[in-house]
Structure formats: C-alpha cells, structure tokens
Structure 1
Amino acid sequence: MKKLDRDAILKTIPQKGFFGHPKGLSTLFFTEFWERFSYYGMRAILLFYMYYEVSDGGLGIDQTTANSIMAIYGSLVYMSGIIGGWIADRILGTARTVFHGGVLIMIGHIILALPFGAPGLFVSMGFIIIGTGLLKPNVGGMVGDLYSKTDPRRDSGFSIYYMGINMGAFIAPYIVGTLGEGVSFHLGFGVAAVGMLVGLIVYVVTRKKYLGLAGTIVPNPLKKEEKGRLLSIILTVIVILGIVGWLGINGGWLTVDRVIFSISILGVIIPTAYFIFMFRSPKTTSEEKSRLLAYIPLFVAAMMFWAIQEQGSTILATYANERTDLNFLGIELKASWFQSLNPLFIIMFAPLFAGMWTKLGDRQPSVAQKFSFGLVFAGLSFIVMMFPAYFNGTESLVSPLWLVLSFFLVVLGELLLSPVGLSASTKLAPAAFAAQMMSLWNLSNSSAQAINAQVVKFYSTETEVMYFGVIGGIAILLGIILYLFSPKLKEFMRGLN
C-alpha cells in the first residue's frame, strides 16, 4: 500500500469515538468478541459431543480418537490463516474476506446445531476451518489500518482489541457450555451460530460508517492470466481430492486415523519448508540468515509450549469431565466452564505483565530468556497434574482446584511467550518475508496441535502420572537448555534483543 493510499484511507475513518480511539475499533472489537464467543463456545462442548454416547446426545466416538480430532481441528484452523491472508492480499481485500469468513463460520455452526450426526460434524469443521482462516488474521490487520504507523494510540488499540478476544472467549463456555451440557449439544451449537450472526450484523451495519475505506484495498491483485491459472489449479485439486476421497472411502483405506496422521506429518513439513525457503532465498541477507537461525530454537520452544497449552481443550477437558469432582462448595460445576479460565487469567494478568516490562525497560530479560521462563511454567502446569493420581490413585475424583492451578501456571507461561513471540517474529523477519514470518509464527501453534494429535493417544487413566510427568519434564528441560544458550542466541540476533 502506498503512503498516499494509507493517508487517504485514514481520512475516511472517524478518529475519535471509542474510548479516545477510532470508531472503527468498536466495530472490530465487537465483531471479534462475537466471533470468539462463537468459536470458543463451540469448542467448549465439541469434544464432549464427539465422545458422549448416542443415548446422551453425543456421537459415541472413541475418546482417544475424539481428542486427536480436536487437535487436528485446531491445527487446521491455524494453517488456514495462510490461505486467508493470501485471499485478502490477492483477491478480496481484508474487509470482504472478514465478512465471507464470518458467513462460513456461521454456516458451520448451523450445521452442528442440526442432527446430521458424524457427516455433519466433519462438514461443519470444513466450513469453520476455512471461515476462521479467512476472518481471524484479517480482522487484526484491519485494526492496524485504523492508525498511522506513528500514532501513539496504536499499541493501546491492539490491547483493547485483544481484550475483546478474551472477553468473548471467557463468557462463551458459561453460556454455550451450560446449554450444551445441561440441555442439548445442538442447542449449544445453535447459540454459537447466533453469536456469529450478531457479530456479522455489527460488522455490516457499522462497517461503512466507522471503517471507511479500511480493508477495501487489494494490495497485490491477481492479473487476468493469473486468475485463469488459479481457477484451473483449484478445479484440479478439487477433482483429485474428490477421486481420492471416493476411492479411499469405498476401498476402506481412507480412515480417520490415516487422515489425522497425514495432517500431523504436514504440520512438521510445512514450517520446515518455510524455514528452508527463507534461509536459501537470495533476498535474505547474511545478517538476516543469522537472525533466522536464532529464530529456529524460539519456534521449537513455541511448539513445545503450545503443545501443552492447547491440551487445555483436549486432555484437560477430558480430565475435567472424567476425573474432577464437579460439586464444589455446593455449586454444581460444568466441565466446559474450565475453558473460561485461560481467558480470565489473561484478562487479569496481561496488564500487569505489560506494566512490568515497561518498568524494567532495558533491564528486562532477553527474548530467549522470556521463552525459557514460559516453557518452565508450561511444564509446571503439567507437573502439578501428576500429584492427584500419584498420591490418591485414579479411582477417586479430584478437587477442581488442581485444574485451576494448572490453567493459571500455563497462562503465566503464555504471557511470557506469546506476545513476546509476536514481537520477535516482526523483529527477526527477513525484510522480504515480513508478512510470511507472521504466518510462520502462527504455524508454531498449528504444528504443535498436529503433533498433539498423535501425543494425546498415549493418555489414559493408567498412564496419567507418566503422561503429565514426561511432557511437563521435557518442557522444563527445554526451558533450561534455552536459558543456558540464550547469550549465544542473542549474538545470532545481531544487535536485537
């Protein structure tokens, strides 16, 4: 986008009206609030819907398989963001891409709300994966379009937007989860669909008035000959996938487990190919190659962190439902409510961490050291989950406070690693691959969940102590190693911290 284009766009956006910020921030805040309400509400009950018996309103899928499906689902959601960014850059622009993404998400939730069984589950997942990939990365991009690059309100605006994300995620399990577990899973999914509809209405009604021309520019539009070639490629891929799917299903060799395994392999291959391509590119200078090498251990550390954090919606969700005493102080808890702990702790402690880094200034730990601390906290969040089974066995139900402690510890790790990782990705990126580096950072979560799809198969009541102990121990060990090598990584960063 040329400077003149950005200046012209900024003139079309009311620059005051939402807590001293551009009015368009309210549009994106509430759009993302309701989208996250929709997504996290659905996710709070989806695992239970898959493995509950048919007589209890579920699909009766094997519990281990259900956990693997959840992990692959999360992995594909993050992978699809690459496609969403490309479509916005080359075809639709961010504003239209966000709208189409919201529509697809709503359709996916509507399908889940109807009694279509297992086929409906997988079709809905397809809609939600693509829809979230279109919407999620591009809403954040539009927040940036509301401000000039020198606007001092910019960081504060992103903080307000981030609060919208976590507020939606915090409220959703209490509403969608309560209805889904207490009344009907399909009713819960229906409420999630309504949430996305509300977000779309807010977006459509206020977009032109508050966002002006933000997100309407297509930065690098496809040429006419490129459109024809792209259409041919898409049709070819659809035909090939259709033939393979038909032959595989009829031949009995295309199973859910094999699809999950294939995607798990892709979760490792794609980021590896990204690194090799950027490192070998003639556009990457020797100094940038050094920084890219420093980024690799950070990426691996992030994968290890997300591998633990994302099990909050799989293994810990199963633990909440199967192993936890849900009658606490006379209150009958719902297993889905524990999914609110992560966003709640982020809302509570994110301002404290931001203030702490500001106060420390140049005395704050390096990027690698923050990552190492984050890994240690993530590891501890699993280590503490060993104790109930180790001391009392697995026959009795455990206090919900163990889960609260585990979620609290992993959130401390997330606040040390996640925002720092975003910042490091922008600083260490080769100039020619600045945008793709952000996609690569998102792939750390995608790859972690792809690997989780295989790892969660080792969890059972009998292996509980070893499962939490081994994974938690590996994370702590990696954290210590990363801390010891942090001075060397700082050298590779060539002046950046």
Structure 2
Amino acid sequence: MSTSSPSGANSRELFGHPAGLYLLFSTELWERFSYYAMRALLVLYLTDAVTSGGLGWNQGDALQLYGIFTGLVYITPMFGGALADNWLGARRAILIGGLIMAAGQFVLAVPPDMSGLDAEMLLYVGLGLLIVGNGLFKPNISTMVGDLYPQGDHRRDGAFTIFYMGINLGALLSGIVAGSMAEGYGWNAGFLVAGIGMLLAVAIQLIFAPRHLGELGVEPSARREARLSKRSTTRTPLSREERDRIKVILVLGLFTILFWAGFEQGGGLMALYAQDYTDRMLMGFEVPAAWFQSLNPLFIILLSPLLAGLWTRMNDREPSSPVKFAFGLIALGIGFVCMIGAVLEQKSAGSASMMWLVGAFFFHTLGELCLSPVGLSMVTKLSPVRMGALMMGAWFAFVALANYLAGMIGSLVGEAGAMSVFGGIAITGVLGGLLLLVFAGKLVDWMHGAEARHDGPLETQTSHG
C-alpha cells in the first residue's frame, strides 16, 4: 500500500525508485522529443534554399540565430522557476509552459504559402513561444525529480540519470521521425510532428500526475516551506552553509559554460559539417544529416544504465560531483580530437568518414553523462528549499550563456576554419577538466556534507530540494 512521502508524492516504488519518477520521465520524454525535433531541423531549415522550402540564410547568420535561440531557451527558466516557487507551483507551471510550447511548434508548422504570412515572422513568433513556454516547463520538472527523494538519499544521482534517459529517448526518436518527415513532406511537417509530441507531454501530466505525484509540486515551494516551519513568509537571511553551497553551484556553473559551449556545436557547426563535408553513403543509402542528431541520445540510452549502476556500486568510492564534472570536460575535449581527425581526412580525401562523427558524439555523450544529470542532481542537493526552482533556473542560465557562446563560436568557422574551432574547443575542454580536478577538494568542503550518504530509514529524513 502506498503512502505519502515528505514531499507530498505517492511513495509507491517501481524498480527501486518512486513511481512518480517514471511519470516525470515520460512527460520529459515527449517534451524533449518536441524540442529536439525542432532543434535538429532549425539550422538546416534556415540554410536550405528558398526554392526547397527553406529560408536561404547563410551559415553564419543561421548559427548566430541558433545560439541566440538556444541561449534564451535556457535563460527564461530562471524567471519560470521564480514564478513557480512563489506563485504558480511546479505542476501548474509545467502545464502552462507545455501548452505555450505546443503553440510555438504549430506556428512553425504553418506553411507561409497557405497562410499568406511572412515566413520569417512565423519563425520569430514560433521561436518566441518556445522560449517562453520552456522557461516555465524546464526548471520545474527537474526540481520535482529532486523533490521525490529525501536529503541524503543515495538514489538521487541515479534517478537523474534515469530521468536523463527519458530526455534522450525523446531526442533519439525526434531526429529520426522529424528528419524523415521533413525529408519526405517538407520542413513544416517536421515542426508539426514536434507540436504533437508536446501535446502528448501535457496529456501525460494531466492524466497521471494526480495518481503518481499526489500533492508534489501543487503548492509553491516558498509557501510550503513557510507553512511547514510555521514561520511568516518574510525571507530569512541565508546561513553560512547555504551561502557556501550556492558558491559551489556558481563555480561549477562556470565550468558548465565551457562544456556546453563546445557540446552545442553538435546541433550547429557539426550538423553543417555532417551535411557538407561528410561521406554519408552507407550501403547505397545516403544517411540524412539530421539523423546524426540521434547519435547523442542513442549513446545516452546505452550508457546511462551503465553509469547509474557504476555510481551505485562504487558506494563510498563514488567520485564527487566536481570530479565527475572534470571527467566530463576531458571527455568533451577527446570528442573534438575526433573532429580534428575528420578535418584532416576531409582535406586529404575530399570528405570525412562518418566514423569520426560517431566517435565525437560518443565521447561528447560520455562527458554529458558525467556532467549534466549530475549537475541537475547537485542543484537539488545544494539549493535552499525555498529557492529550489529559482536555483534550477539559475543553473539553466549558465547553459543559456553557453548556448549563446556556442553560436558565436560556430559562426567563426568562416574566418578561422574548422580545424581552429575544433582544436580550440578540444584544448579548452581538457585544460578546464584538469583545473577543476585541482580545486575539487575545496568545492566538496563547501558542500558541507550535502553528498554524504545516509543509509538509515528514509522516512525519518527531511525532504530537501
């Protein structure tokens, strides 16, 4: 028989985790299907010829818009998190954000020749709706995953890795489905499929959340904390321990900028490299360039269970979050060494083997798994309860800056050349990882035991995050 957890969620378990985790997994799966379907098509759509249904932009302008868009997608969660913490509650914010995002995808799907509207106007309106909706959706669903687990529950990192599989199962499907629809029926059909995926995410949350999440995410977290502690809503100053923990989030946020500024070349510069400079013939079939976007989620699905199991089996020998971050940055650098190999082969043979891209996406994925789900978990561990969604939004603001920088870096390819761009990112990734290893011990001290394992009865522990 299920009971209510300290966070208000139903405590029924499935495969060692709360059933609510798999509901949030499923919701995020279809939301990420929607987002990554659009992401896989955006640069290719912008640069395609007008006669083929595209907008005919040059590569530099397309990559700059890509960077601005993905940057704004990750900065609006700071405002969406604050709204949820103080007024809306996470559940309501997710539903409102999901509906706005679906509207954005459907605007992108409107054929200009049928509507009589300007194609670029439709583009900007659609992207604007996606930015606003994502700001409400993204930080709050991640915070709810952390809220399923009491403080000190060693399953939390593994839970975020499982949740990350949902993100990437959706991304895996999106590149193949939306790419195939765009190839067969035009760019607008690809965006239409993305909109349908977003509606599925909203429907899953509406139908199943009351049963599997109980009251989790219904009440704004700041109001809940004040009620449970029987205090007024007047904000109390942060304690020294809370300030130190926030410093860890901020420091690791700087390193996450380095990672994502390189990683996000996968949807921009590397997408164009796959289309223009890669031999994509496989047994007489030309692999669509958009399909390469599915390599990252495919590798995540394959590697996530292995890493989640590894962290659990290591017990007290499990690396700290800063050390995992360092491994992620070094793996990113190794991935771009593969892209250097691609450029060298392209210059000598006229085109690069697909295997260089496969290798790059493999190492990028390994790095992502050491950094991204661990970062989400870390924010829920270290954030003051009353600021949970706000701090998650701040974390995504670092990713926002990284995405903007990614667009700027990718647009330099016309002046600096692919070798300089790929080589610079490789060196930066490795050096950043080594620097973080040096300071990892100090960052762990500032966590004040937030990552310490508690193996006692979880019912007696306090919910956090």
CA contact (8 A) 1:328 1:400 kept: no
Q: Check if 1:113 corresponds to 2:109.
A: yes
What does 1:226-241 correspond to in 2, within 5 Å? none
Match of 1:315 in 2: 269
What residue number does 2:260 align with? Answer: 306
Partner of 2:62: 66
> How far apart are 1:470 and its partner, in Å?
1.4
The AA in structure 2 aligned to 1:327 is M
Aligned to 2:27, which of 31, 53, 68?
31
Q: Partner residue of 2:73?
A: 77
Query: Shift in Å at residue 286 of structure 1?
Result: 4.5
Is 2:196 aligned against 1:194? yes
Letter aligned with residue 129 of structure 2: F
1:372 aligned onto 2:368: no
What is the aligned partner in structure 1 of residue 363 from structure 2?
409
Q: How far 1:157 moved relative to its partner?
A: 5.5
How far 1:354 moved relative to its partner? 2.1
Contact residue 91 and residue 218 of structure 2 kept, 8 A: yes
| Offset, 1:389 | 2.3
Q: For the Cα contact (< 8 Å) 1:51–1:61, is it kept in 2? A: yes
Shift of 1:164: 2.2
2:37 is aligned to 41
| More moved, 355-364 vs 69-78 | 355-364
Cross-structure match for 2:460: none
Q: Please, which of 161, 164, 177 is the counterpart of residue 162 of structure 1?
A: 164
Q: Which residue of 2 aligns with 1:476?
A: 430
Counterpart check, 1:446 vs 2:442: no
What displacement does 1:308 show? 1.0
TM-superposed deviation, 1:371: 2.1
CA distance in 2: counterparts of 1:383 and 1:440, whole angstroms: 31
Q: Residues 75-154 of structure 1 correspond to what in structure 2 (within 5 A)?
A: 75-116=71-112, 117-143=119-145
The farther-off stretch of 132-141 and 212-221 is: 212-221
Q: Offset of 1:187 from its aligned partner? A: 0.8
What is the distance in 2 between the residues matched to 1:145 and 1:482? 28
Choose the corresponding residue for 1:342, options 296, 300, 306: 296
Structure 1 stretch displaced more, 379-388 or 309-318 = 379-388
Q: CA deviation at 1:169?
A: 1.1
The reply on whether 1:51 has 2:47 as its aligned counterpart is yes
What does the per-residue CA deviation read over 1:382-413, in whole Å, with 9 as the maximum and x for residues that have no partner?
12211232344177221111111001011111
CA deviations over 1:222-261 (Å, ceiling 9, x no partner): xxxxxxxxxxxxxxxxxxxxxxxxxxxxxxxxxxxxxxxx
TM-score normalised according to structure 2 size: 0.82
- Whole-angstrom CA distance in 1 between matches of 2:310 and 2:431: 26
The residue aligned with 2:231 is none
Within-5 A mapping of 1:352-391: 352-391=306-345
How far apart, in 1, do the equivalents of 2:389 and 2:438 lie?
31
Q: Which letter does structure 2 place at the counterpart of 1:193?
A: G
Equivalent position of 1:271 in the other structure = none
Q: What whole-Å deviation, never above 9, does each CA across 1:292-336 have from its counterpart, x for those lacking one? A: 555544222211011111111111111111111111233321111
For residues 337 and 55 of structure 2, what CA distance do their matches in structure 1 show? Answer: 32
Residue equivalent to 1:272: none
State how far apart, in whole Å, the 2-side matches of 1:389 and 1:8 are: 51
Which digits, 9 at most, give the CA deviation of each residue in 1:175-209, with x for residues without a partner?
11111133300011111112222333333334445
Q: Show CA shifts across 1:150-174 (max 9, x none).
A: 9898776655443322211111111
Which amino acid is the alignment partner of residue 358 of structure 2? V
Q: Is the 8 A contact 2:104 2:127 kept in 1?
A: yes
- Say if 2:73 and 2:132, in contact at 8 Å, map to a contact too: yes
Give the partner amino acid of 1:171: L
Query: 1:492, CA displacement in angstroms?
Result: 5.2
Aligned 1:166-177 pairs, distance under 5 A = 166-177=168-179
8 Å CA contact retained: 1:97, 1:138: yes
Task: Indicate whether 1:15 and 2:12 are aligned.
Answer: yes
1:28-75 residue CA offsets vs partner (Å, 9 max, x unmatched) = 333222211111111111111111110111011121111111111111
Q: Distance in 1 between matches of 2:135 and 2:184?
A: 31
Q: After the TM superposition, which of the residue ranges 21-30 and 446-455 deviates more from structure 2?
A: 21-30
Match of 2:456 in 1: none
Q: How many angstroms apart in 2 are the aligned matches of 1:150 and 1:39?
A: 33
State the distance in 1 between where 2:311 and 2:7 align: 35
State which of 181, 184, 192 in structure 1 corresponds to 2:183. Answer: 181
2: distance between equivalents of 1:215 and 1:496?
23
1: CA distance, partners of 2:213 / 2:246: 36
Q: 1:379 to 1:9 in 2, by over 3 A?
A: closer
Question: Counterpart of 1:60 in 2: which secondary structure?
Answer: coil
Identity of aligned residues (%): 40
Look up the equivalent residue of 2:93 and give its one-letter code: T
Is there any run of 5+ residues in structure 1 with no aligned partner, and where? Answer: 222-280
1:329 aligns with 2:293: no
1:350: how far off? 1.6
Runs of 5+ unmatched residues, structure 2: 113-118, 224-234, 452-465
Distance (Å, rounded) in 2 between the aligned partners of 1:93 and 1:51: 40
Deviations 1:342-379 (A, max 9, x none): 11111111222222223333334443333222211111
What code does the residue aligned with 1:29 have? Answer: F
The answer to whether the 8 A contact 1:394-1:461 is kept is: no
2:289 maps to amino acid: A
Alignment equivalent of 1:463, drawn from 417, 436, 443: 417
Question: 1:281-296 maps to which residues of 2 (within 5 A)?
Answer: 283-286=237-240, 288-290=242-244, 292-293=246-247, 295-296=249-250
- Specify the code of the residue in structure 1 equivalent to 2:313: K
SS in 1 for 2:220: coil
Encode CA deviations 1:426-460: one digit per residue, 9 max, x unaligned.
45546775554333322221111122232222113
Task: Specify whether residues 339 and 495 from structure 1 end up closer, same or farther in structure 2 by C-alpha distance, changes over 3 A only.
Answer: same
Letter in 2 for 1:15: R
Contact 2:165–2:304 (CA under 8 A) maintained in structure 1:
no
Tell me by how many angstroms 1:131 deviates.
1.1
Q: Matches of 1:43 and 1:122 in 2, distance apart?
A: 14
Judged with a 3 Å threshold, the aligned counterparts in structure 2 of structure 1 residues 24 and 413 are, in CA distance, closer, same or farther, namely: closer
Distance 1:104 1:353 in 2: 35
Q: Distance in 1 between matches of 2:363 and 2:296?
A: 10
Between the aligned partners of 2:222 and 2:247, the Cα distance in structure 1 is: 29
